[in-house]
Amino acid sequence: MQVVVGTGPMTDKKTLLNRVESLYRLTSRRTSAFAVALCLAGSSIAIPSAWASEPESDPAAMAFNQLTVLESLQQQEAASDIDLESVQDMESMVDEARMRAQVEYLAEKLRKPPETVQKYVQLAWAEASRRVGLTPELLIAIMHKESTFRPKVQNRYGAQGLMQVVRRWHREKLKASESLFDPAVNVRVGADILEEYLESVGGDLSKALAKYSGNSRGYANKVLGESRKLAHVADMAAAEVAMATWQLDDPSAGQTG
């Protein structure tokens, strides 16, 4: 049986962490460490016997639905007291692996030094963590499409910075002293705009992206395609963390004979 864990755009990290803690306490030590790694690792992870195959589910599938499957598999396991701090450490480890993989992927694709890309990937992750409905992959994909990570770029219409925001159209989202050439300000305002557009179109991401681009043909598909690639790259890195965690917790894992 293949179990896929998803981290969808509507995932509430606090609620997810609470459910992971509950799952952690329902299982034995070896199984729980692996299960938590799976829960946090992302949409491309399956149980070890299925990792060699390509996942069939949508990477945007909700983590809550997938956690329910994992929980049902662990109900018969003996309870074990494991500190929530261990789960939080695992979450940090997985997130770091995901970000690092995305940085390496983008640096190679754009032929830029990793340190040039890293700060913008981190900005996207930090901004997405404060939002419901926006993933870091989506924000990174927009930056990639709009500016190829050039924070000082400006087009002939006055769109500025990483996410190409036009100040005169969104003055209410900025303080007078703020500059859209400041990467942190630009990503924050760009995310504000996208949230506003999502609300105006009833949560339809394709329509919101089309509106963001001024109805540029093919824009939404390109951004969503890049977002899926970024998620897949991150999920593969997270799967490696899950496998390593399982093998460290059970030294005999992976041995044959």
How far apart are the C-alpha atoms of 251 and 62, rounded to whole Å?
32
Kindly state the percentage of the chain with pLDDT values over 70: 60
How far apart are the C-alpha atoms of 178 and 197, rounded to whole Å?
22
On the CB side of 135, CA atoms within 13 Å amount to 28
| pLDDT-based confidence at residue 224 (cuts at 50, 70, 90) | very high
How many CB atoms are located within 10 Å of the residue 216 CB? 12
Give the fold, CATH level 3, of 112-232.
Answer: Lysozyme (1.10.530)
Average pLDDT of the residues of the chain: 76
SS3 107: helix
- Determine the average pLDDT of the residues in 68-94: 56
Predicted pLDDT at 28: 39
The domain ranges of the chain are 13-97+234-249, 112-232
More confident position, 19 or 158: 158
Spatial neighbors of 70 by CB under 8 A, at least 6 apart, are: 3, 5, 23, 35, 38, 39
SS3 106: helix
Hey, what's the torsion of the CAs at 9, 13, 16, 17, to 10 degrees?
160
Candidates 72, 91, 89, 121; CA nearest to 16 is 91
| pLDDT-based confidence at residue 239 (cuts at 50, 70, 90) | confident
Kindly state the percentage of the chain with pLDDT values over 90: 53
Do the Cβ atoms of 79 and 25 come closer than 8 Å? yes
How far apart are the C-alpha atoms of 218 and 232, rounded to whole Å?
21
How far apart are the C-alpha atoms of 108 and 110, rounded to whole Å?
6
Predicted pLDDT at 35: 54
